[in-house]
């Protein structure tokens, strides 16, 4: 099963929990 992840940067609070849970997929950039 494949998933497509779509991020809404307007709703992102920049806490980094996505990168902590799945660092292979998510990376916190310079802009948070």
Q: What is the CA radius of gyration of the chain?
A: 10
Confidence of residue 14 (pLDDT cuts 50, 70, 90): confident
**Residue 20 DSSP code:** H
The tens digit of pLDDT for each residue in 18-27 reads 999 999 988 8
| Token reading at 30 | 């310079």
User: Cα(28)–Cα(22) distance, rounded to whole angstroms?
Assistant: 11
What pTM was estimated for this model as a whole? 0.58
User: Cα(3)–Cα(30) distance, rounded to whole angstroms?
Assistant: 26
């Amino acid at each position: 099963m494949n998933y497509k992840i779509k991020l809404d940067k307007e709703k992102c609070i920049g806490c980094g929990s996505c990168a902590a849970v799945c660092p292979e997929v998510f990376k916190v950039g310079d802009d948070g």
